[in-house]
Amino acid sequence: MRFIPHTDEDVATMLEAIGAPSLEALFACVPEKLRLDRPLALPAAASEQEVLAELRALAERNAHAGSHAWFLGAGTYAHFVPSAIDALASRAEFATSYTPYQPEVSQGTLQAIFEWQSMMCALTGLEVSNASLYDGASATAEAALMAMRLTRRSKVVLSGGVHPHTREVLRTYLDGLGGEISTAPRGADGRTAGLVGCVDDATACVILQQPAFLGAIEDVAAAARAARAHGAVLVVTTSEALSLAFLRSPGALGADIACGEAQSFGVPMSFGGPHLGFLAARGAHVRQMPGRLVGQTVDARGRRGFVLTLSTREQHIRRERATSNICTNQGLCLLRATIYLALLGRRGLRELARLNHAKAEYAKSLVRRTPGLALPLAAPTFHEFVVGVPGPAEAALARALDAGLVAGLDLAPHAPELGPALLVCTTELARREDIDRLVRVLAGRSA
Amino acid sequence: MRFIPHTDEDVATMLEAIGAPSLEALFACVPEKLRLDRPLALPAAASEQEVLAELRALAERNAHAGSHAWFLGAGTYAHFVPSAIDALASRAEFATSYTPYQPEVSQGTLQAIFEWQSMMCALTGLEVSNASLYDGASATAEAALMAMRLTRRSKVVLSGGVHPHTREVLRTYLDGLGGEISTAPRGADGRTAGLVGCVDDATACVILQQPAFLGAIEDVAAAARAARAHGAVLVVTTSEALSLAFLRSPGALGADIACGEAQSFGVPMSFGGPHLGFLAARGAHVRQMPGRLVGQTVDARGRRGFVLTLSTREQHIRRERATSNICTNQGLCLLRATIYLALLGRRGLRELARLNHAKAEYAKSLVRRTPGLALPLAAPTFHEFVVGVPGPAEAALARALDAGLVAGLDLAPHAPELGPALLVCTTELARREDIDRLVRVLAGRSA
Amino acid sequence: MSDPRERVQAVGNATTSLAFEEALLFERSRPGRRGADLPAPDVPDVDPAASLPADWLRDDLEGLPELSEPEVVRHFTRLSTWNYAVDLGLYPLGSCTMKYNPKLNEAAAQLPGFALGHPLQPVALSQGILQLMYELERHLAEISGMDRVTLQPAAGAQGELAGIMMIRAYHEHRGERRDKILIPDSAHGTNPASAALNGYHTIPVPSGPDGLIHPAAVAERMTPDVAGLMVTNPNTLGLFEEHLVEIAEIVHSRGGLVYGDGANLNALLGVARPGDLGIDVMHFNLHKTFSTPHGGGGPGAGPVGVKNLLAPHLPVPMVRKLEAAEGQGFVLDYEFPHSIGRLHGNLGNVGMLVRAFAYVRSLGPDGLRRCAEMAVLNANYVRARLRRSYAVPYDRPVMHECVLSDRSFEGAGVTTLDVAKRLIDYGYHPPTVYFPLIVPGALMIEPTESESLEGLDRFCEALLAIAEEAREDPEHVKGAPHSTRLSRLDETRAARKPVLRWQPDPDPS
Amino acid sequence: MSDPRERVQAVGNATTSLAFEEALLFERSRPGRRGADLPAPDVPDVDPAASLPADWLRDDLEGLPELSEPEVVRHFTRLSTWNYAVDLGLYPLGSCTMKYNPKLNEAAAQLPGFALGHPLQPVALSQGILQLMYELERHLAEISGMDRVTLQPAAGAQGELAGIMMIRAYHEHRGERRDKILIPDSAHGTNPASAALNGYHTIPVPSGPDGLIHPAAVAERMTPDVAGLMVTNPNTLGLFEEHLVEIAEIVHSRGGLVYGDGANLNALLGVARPGDLGIDVMHFNLHKTFSTPHGGGGPGAGPVGVKNLLAPHLPVPMVRKLEAAEGQGFVLDYEFPHSIGRLHGNLGNVGMLVRAFAYVRSLGPDGLRRCAEMAVLNANYVRARLRRSYAVPYDRPVMHECVLSDRSFEGAGVTTLDVAKRLIDYGYHPPTVYFPLIVPGALMIEPTESESLEGLDRFCEALLAIAEEAREDPEHVKGAPHSTRLSRLDETRAARKPVLRWQPDPDPS
Ligand SMILES: Cc1ncc(COP(=O)(O)O)c(C=O)c1O
Ligand SMILES: Cc1ncc(COP(=O)(O)O)c(C=O)c1O
């Protein structure tokens, strides 16, 4: 066993020092009859060479953003990841360390988290950001719970534009605390309609996704007014953090909590996880925030340093009264995102967002001009939008696949009322010629 | 330009400090008419995303040991590389540092080299090993030059079993110093024959490759006697360092210098380079050795440490009288090999060598039993051997390729006298079912 | 007594050396620098203001830095050198199982077929990963003695949440209203927090003088309004809950269920199975027992195993292998009528599942059992070597970790915190401190099976040297660490006047 | 004067911190441990003694260590922390061009289609790599103004060897016997060494008082038995050889050829081309100018460019693009009748070629020129900031590097070595020292274009602080480095009593 150093001699020496006759004896406290009297029924150990071969074979049976031209987004996005991120995030000092409980030997992780918090404040237009939550869906659920604590109310008004999975997770989380959810429907242009009607004085928060699941860019300011009118908290969530570099910040538009998924910032899609949930809020609400926070301080000799702080909110101190049960979070994904934002920087990130938008506008312009295809939703979009296709969406996807394209998400389960339609996303990875091919095959013409 | 930090403002500040009116002015010392008056005719800069896409496309147009079952060796071997090697050798502290001229900030590299030297002494059965040479071919040429210096003789007796490329490189290197080369032919069983006849009192060294290019295991002791009889130096070179774990060490069998290629120790094949030349010798000959040497010493406070030593042999001190002109060598490949040997260790490396041998013996046993195929050379082998095939070797290779196998090296250019034949190698990567398929397709039967 | 630096050098694990300073990204930023370049646009540029109100648009990203790639690389490389890590040395954080993280796992997870796959791509295009998940579920079920396992939870705490939700669903489904849950006083903070998120009131169960929970204590509290018991076995003292079966019977007999916190499963691998001990539902911490890296605070993965009685309540989707009749392959299965719903936005932290799968395949049944044996051997060895110099609150053989305390240093006024900080000077990460709460001044040491005999000896010599220092040179211990770039950071100040982000001009002081 | 540690902290680049000790592999070894496991044998085991005499076989590998994978990983991770590196800070080694090594290059080189390819696989299966090599040859030719470029040499010195061989072949082919070669006294040691390997006697050419070679000095020595001149431009003083064209004419007019040592090409990228300056043959150091990592001493790559007159003598094989008539693609070309033969066992250090190709593609024409401009700007800026505090032997504008000396500290008895070692305490790798030989106590500083203005300022402040220390606190400077794990290793002892390997019982002392 190459992972375990013990030789038989070592074992003997140690048993002797302990005063135990045998390894078996170390488990004397486990009642005889409860011990497993057989080897576990698992495949026998394999060598590194064999395990890698087995995993390669499995991996090769998956399609991925490297094997096809990729237009599938819907909450998980194929963006380019600069090589420096893998090189740095794989450094053992980052990857094989624990949560930075001991600041003297964890300043690397702590300073990086502080930098992340700072940049997320800048992007969300809010004063406090935590050090990650599991993913965008649980971050949104945590935001709702936070709003319920802040308002001591239990009603949540949910935009129909929130990602369906996020809505499901929200239901799962709220169920235990008697939170009730009412959903504001989608208007004809794709934006959330009739929010105002749903909000009342029992409403803890309004949850709006920006951009909406089907791509529409929502009117955050209007939602803020609707929420504020009843003393409710406005939560703006996003499943595409890059949109923060494109749109005015949620904070600036009146959101009290901004949360969501930051996988787009240098985290591989990896079949949906590990990704990176984030949550930012107004300074006044910091003590109700879930998740870890890193703060600046000084050491015994007055030198600047960083520590985990305000932990009285957390489970290991506050236990059943904690703001959340989260312990292990998404540290290394946060580090990747911090490196990503440092590389892209103040100008690069905005330019990237604009490029993503321009690709989508180009694709939409082709769709508009292509008989058989349609853009059923009129609202402006960022880099993702709905395309109505001739005949069943499944058939369109299959045609695209034959042409080496993963064309998008079949909306039949999510928005049947739109007829056969796909949710299509264009990031910087989508080359013009791929977009051209996509439009041709969706329209039923040969690639 | 993401690699260059200078902003226009920085440039202005710096020009001012220098007192230069413009960047152009910094090149005033370059006569006007000699300056390039146009941009270089190169493709325009591409983004990281584009460059990676371009390189992926090129890489995908190459076959490789991951895309086919691999039986091609002939001096470059497809062995499994433990994942820990990439993880450690890619650490910036190893990869982005220079030759360890300043020991106080280079102990990591220095200690690793010292460990490498120690292990190569153990493997070769000699007292001194250097810190790498470019590759096995140049290492063999350096060994010949070293022998010429040691003996003040200029005649080199070369076994016909030495890798043809190594022979060519040797000729290239010796040409400038008037070394003359005579070649001992290959005997019917594949081993070098008539060495004795070639050696005389003008012979600086006898160079034997172990195993020989066509796989035969040579009689090193006999060669040692032949060399010793005339005061010549015996150089034993290998293109498969793993054989050192299978066969009695060259030193133990009478070799004065052992050298060759250690790519098999965790260095990727990478189309032939960078690989890892090594050279070890008797202690008495250390001052005639080429290449860097690391020695143990103590620091100002008496603590053990390591430094580059005996540099008076080297070009930066001895200049035209140096033992070699080598400066930059194969440091990071040496590190990979050091990690490899540390992982495989005293037992693992021998077991691996035995496994390689067992695979070859299995393959040979099939070949023996297969009509149409033959083993033209009778001498025992390690993991590589010659297979006579029916019809042109090219056709056999093509058949194998259709079955997803890279079957070996066509020997037509190297040993036409053997008729249509392939040099076939089986490492631990060759699975039994692949070997079975190989034998079937070579025999002309369907895979 | 000798010079403090000499004492450290005598143990031979650590020294001091050159280290690098590094400012914040924002302080290194210079307008106009860039660390990434974008592909040349191959589509017409579009002014967003054409389709959107100008005041909906972002005009600037003030607050994001501007650096070149070399500066960014240097920044984070330097930061990394300020961290301690498993790859640098023994990391005895009790309850965290800081075992070696095989490099093979990382290589596997980085394969494009895993790293670049999309959670919503058609299952026909995802058969490789679905098979891996299917097999990993089978393996975890066998290891734990559970019937089904959901791979969705992103960490142990989310696993607890899911597990307690299933217990709640189970009772509700049977029309029972139970609003309390029993939790031992030695439990980890996530246990009560997860219960609370389910609306449960938590009833603490006191540990006995031997550090174990006793049937009587449970029986007394196991009233009809109690939904169940959350138990950690081995518990956070590193002790095997010897009465668990009897306790489970009590809970079951009164209609309750038993949740098992699997954080300490490493001690039981191949030796005993929670499912055979009366546990109905449990979580795994793949980032502990199954060697996926902790990443400075995650990501992890917290699969949850259940007995069949809870299977109808599992979160969806699960992975199902098609019956021969249905054809070949794997699909996502949503057919769980009484499911608690979805917990994760996607399929879970799949990248971590790949690593854990590689680990299980590498170890096999014998290797897994060897882990448990060597982990327990190491913990008992450390205990044996230290028990004469450190107070051992519950002085009996342990499983994978042992808990010491600072009681023996009260005289000298040296605390657990001091010992922990001083250990840093000797080149070791401190153990878990002040947990479990039932041990005042706890020092909780979990060496894991990855550590060698000599490595443990050196570690123990450091702790023994500190015990001596505590008596002979207490001030030096109280001033520790002396070797690090920063020493004793002021956590009170951080919390009293929180500075949680960098700002162009942060208020001074 | 202030406390030495405070002086270091004032510059703000470095401090001291915890570091780890680590013994030799052999000292950590324990019989029976293993760090790798082998695939289960799927073929019958074979006793080698069946086919080979027992005394030809290896019975044991005594001297190789036995460690588990975690121990090996820790060993080398700890070792790595003892190194300085470009990714940690400025690395001003003159003549070594320690520029930033883009991570993209590494990612590209690791693609299986590059890393796992075999040099002897049929060219039909290697079209991707052959195209890359073909294009890289074209790019290097354009950058240097040469006609053809061989990619075979493994490093600069092997490139020199190849280049001088071609010069020799050229003369021999024309029936001329020339056995001398001219080399400036400022040349790098590999130049004379490479010439000597060709059997040439080297005739030193003295540099003029301005640090340049002068036509007269060359004319004087350029006799009919001289094969040519080896010149480095910019030279090792960082000065552009202003008379090179005239000098080349002299050499050519007397039947000689001019070899250009391209180690300093970084200064000329896109600004001037050696081929336009009269150079007939030159080498490139891809590990300098083209950003491939130095790896603690290689591997590098040293392609050699030649004018057409030398092309017939190029080493084989070269890569050739098929003519339209022959079909599509690339082949290996052996048709060089007067080739000097083969230099490398295979095609060269291909992995480095991939990295250099990625670099050229990333920078393009403008980026390459920008490198030269910023490299020269940085060197002149450092010179400008230091020239008042350090002796500058040849005080004129420089190209990519500047050479200072310790003359100004003679009084205090502080030497270049002392300054170099003290610079370590400030967190910098020392410059190249005592080279070029013509400058006593040379400090040769090459910042490269990768360094920022603030970075250079901090570096200069360190050197200025040291200059002050040399006067005010010379003893402290002579004792440096004070911050490192080890200080001032005894090189004399190492050479006098060489211990070049670990042995079970190394003789004491
Ligand atoms: C005993 C115990 N339970 C639960 C947890 C929580 O697990 P996670 O951090 O994976 O959420 C931990 C983690 O420290 C633990 O030690
Ligand atoms: C001026 C000069 N020439 C030649 C060389 C030798 O190049 P390499 O180390 O690549 O063999 C060097 C390397 O330091 C150099 O600086």
Task: Express each pLDDT in A60-89 by its tens digit.
Answer: 999 999 999 999 999 999 999 999 999 999
Disruptive mutation site among C9, C69, C76 for chain B (greatest number of B CBs within 10 Å): C69
Ligand 1 atom 8 nearest Cα: C156
Statement: residue C1 has pLDDT above 60: no
Give, to the nearest 10 degrees, the angle between helix C127-144 and helix A48-59.
Answer: 130
DSSP code for D275: G
Distance from residue A96's CA to the centre of ligand 2 (Å): 38
**Distance from the alpha carbon of residue C263 to the mean position of ligand 1, in angstroms:** 6
What average pLDDT score do residues D50-62 get?
95
Q: In a 10 Å sphere around its CB, with 0-12 CB exposed, 13-18 middle and 19+ buried, how is residue A343 labelled?
A: buried
Evaluate if pTM is beyond 0.90: yes
Q: For residue A118, is it left (φ>0), alpha (ψ between -120 and 50) or beta? A: alpha
Residue of A1, A3, A48 to mutate, interface with B, max B Cβ within 10 Å: A48
Average pLDDT, chain D: 97
What is the rounded CA–CA span in Å between residue D317 and residue D345?
11
CB contact under 8 A, D37 and A4: no
Q: Does D36 contact A50 at a Cβ distance shorter than 8 Å? A: no
Mean pLDDT of C217-227: 98
Vertex A125: Cα angle to A326 and A202 (nearest 5): 65
Contact flag D87-C77 (C-beta cutoff 8 Å): yes
**Portion of chain A with pLDDT greater than 90, in percent:** 96
| pLDDT tier, C508 (very low <50, low <70, confident <90, very high otherwise) | very low
* Position D508 pLDDT exceeds 50: no
Looking at beta carbons, which residues of chain A come within 8 Å of D39?
46-47, 49-50
Question: Does residue D278 have a pLDDT over 80?
Answer: yes
Mean of pLDDT values over B160-187: 96
| Residues contacting D236, CB < 8 A, separation 6+ | D94, D95, D186, D187, D188, D264, D403, D435, D436, D444
Has residue B345 got a pLDDT over 80? yes
**Cβ <8 Å between C16 and D21:** no
- Angle made by CA atoms A348, A353, A358, in degrees to the nearest 5: 120
Where does ligand 2 bind, in terms of residues with CB under 6 Å? B 327-328; D 95-96, 155-157, 188, 190, 232, 236, 261, 263, 285, 300, 302
Which among C18, C69, C103 is the nearest to B83, CB-wise? C103
pLDDT at D504: 80
Contact D355, D257 (CB under 8 A): no
- Ligand at minimal distance from the CA of D432 is 2
At D154, is the pLDDT very low, low, confident or very high (cuts 50, 70, 90)? very high
**C35/chain A closest Cα distance in angstroms:** 4
- The pLDDT score that the predictor gives to residue B316 is 87
Nearest residue, CB atoms, B2 vs list C35, C104, C106: C35
Q: Is the Cβ of B165 closer than 8 Å to some Cβ of chain D?
A: yes
For range D295-306, the mean pLDDT: 98
Q: Which residues of A touch D67 (CB under 8 A)?
A: 5
Q: Kindly give, in sequence order, each residue whose CB lies less than 8 Å from that of residue D160, ignoring residues fewer than 6 positions away.
A: B325, D190, D191, D194, D195, D230, D259, D261, D283, D302
Q: Which of D285, D401, D444 to mutate to test the pocket of ligand 2 (most atoms within 8 A of CB)?
A: D285
Ligand 1 center–CA C261 separation, angstroms: 8
Q: Residue C506 pLDDT more than 80?
A: no
Q: Is the pLDDT of residue B241 over 70?
A: yes
Cα(C188) to centroid of ligand 1, in Å?
Answer: 7
Residue B115: which of D25, D107, D420 has the nearest Cβ? D25
Q: Give the number of whichever ligand sits closest to the CA of residue C98.
A: 1
Residue closest by Cα to atom 12 of ligand 1? C263
Among A357, A174, A163, CA closest to A277 = A163
Residue of C95, C151, C283 to mutate, ligand 1, most atoms within 8 A of C-beta: C95
Tell me how close the Cα of B5 comes to any Cα of chain C, in angstroms. Answer: 5
Residue C179 to residue C157: CA distance in whole angstroms: 20
Neighboring chain B residues of C31 at a CB cutoff of 8 Å: 7, 9
Whether the CB of C20 is below 8 Å from some CB of chain D: the reply is yes
Residue of A nearest to B429 (CA): A49
Q: Which residues of C fall within a CB distance of 8 Å from D425? A: 18
B28 pLDDT higher than 70: yes
User: Cβ separation of D37 and A1 shorter than 8 Å?
Assistant: yes
Q: What is the 3-state secondary structure (H, E, C) of chain B?
A: CCCCCCCHHHHHHHHHHHCCCCHHHHCCCCCHHHECCCCCCCCCCCCHHHHHHHHHHHHCCECCCCCCEECCCCCCCCCCCCHHHHHHHCCHHHHCCCCCCCHHHEHHHHHHHHHHHHHHHHHHCCCEECCCECCHHHHHHHHHHHHHHHHCCCEEEEECCCCHHHHHHHHHHHHCCCCEEEEECECCCCCECCHHHHCCCCEEEEEEECCCCCCECCCHHHHHHHHHCCCCEEEEEECCHHHHHCECCCCCCCCCEEEEECCCCCCCCHHHCCCCEEEEECHHHHHHCCCCCEEEEECCCCCEEEEECCHHHCHHHHHHHCCCCCCCCCHHHHHHHHHHHHHHHHHHHHHHHHHHHHHHHHHHHHHHHCCCCECCCCCCECCEEEEECCCCHHHHHHHHHHCCEECCEECCCCCHHHCCEEEEECCCCCCHHHHHHHHHHHCCCCC
The amino acid that residue B273 corresponds to is G
Tell me which of D61, D212, D509 to substitute to probe the interface with B (most B C-beta atoms closer than 10 Å): D61
CA-proximal residue: ligand 2, atom 14 (nearest) = D96
Q: Tens digits of per-residue pLDDT, D368-411?
A: 999 999 999 999 999 999 999 999 999 999 999 999 999 999 99
What residues have CB less than 8 Å from B119, skipping those under 6 apart? B338, B341, D63, D64, D65
The Å distance, Cα A136 to ligand 1 centre, comes to 21
- For tokens 């120690």, the residue is B118
Length of chain A: 447
Is residue A158 within 8 Å of A237, Cβ to Cβ?
A: no
When pLDDT is cut at 50, 70 and 90, the band that residue A90 belongs to is: very high
State the average pLDDT for chain B: 97
**DSSP SS3 for A439:** helix
**Whose CA is closest to atom 10 on ligand 2?**
D156
CB contact under 8 A, A86 and D103: yes
Alpha carbon of D156 to ligand 2 centroid (Å): 5
Residue C2 pLDDT > 80: no
The pLDDT value given to residue C495: 97
Nearest to C33 among B7, B82, B84 (CB): B7
Cβ contacts below 8 Å, chain B against chain D, sum to 700
Residues of C engaging B, defined by a Cβ cutoff of 8 Å: 18, 30-40, 67-71, 73, 77, 102-104, 106-107
User: Which of B2, B14, B91, B340 to probe the C interface (max C CBs under 10 A)?
Assistant: B2
Query: Can you tell me the mean pLDDT for C413-418?
Result: 97
DSSP C363-429: HHHHHHHHHHHHHHHHHHHHHHHHTTTSB-SS-S--SS-EEEESGGGTTTT--HHHHHHHHHHTT--
Is residue D473 classed as helix, strand or coil in its secondary structure? coil
User: Which B residues, 284 through 343, put their C-beta within 8 Å of a C-beta on chain D?
Assistant: 286, 292-301, 303, 305-307, 309-312, 314-322, 324-335, 339, 341-343
Residues of chain C found within 8 Å of residue B84, distances taken between Cβ atoms: 103
Query: Please, what is the Cα angle at B353 between B351 and B359, to 5 degrees?
Result: 100
pLDDT at D509 over 80: no
Q: What is the pLDDT confidence band of residue D2, given thresholds at 50, 70 and 90?
A: confident
Write out pLDDT tens, residues C340-394: 999 999 999 999 999 999 999 999 999 999 999 999 999 999 999 999 999 999 9
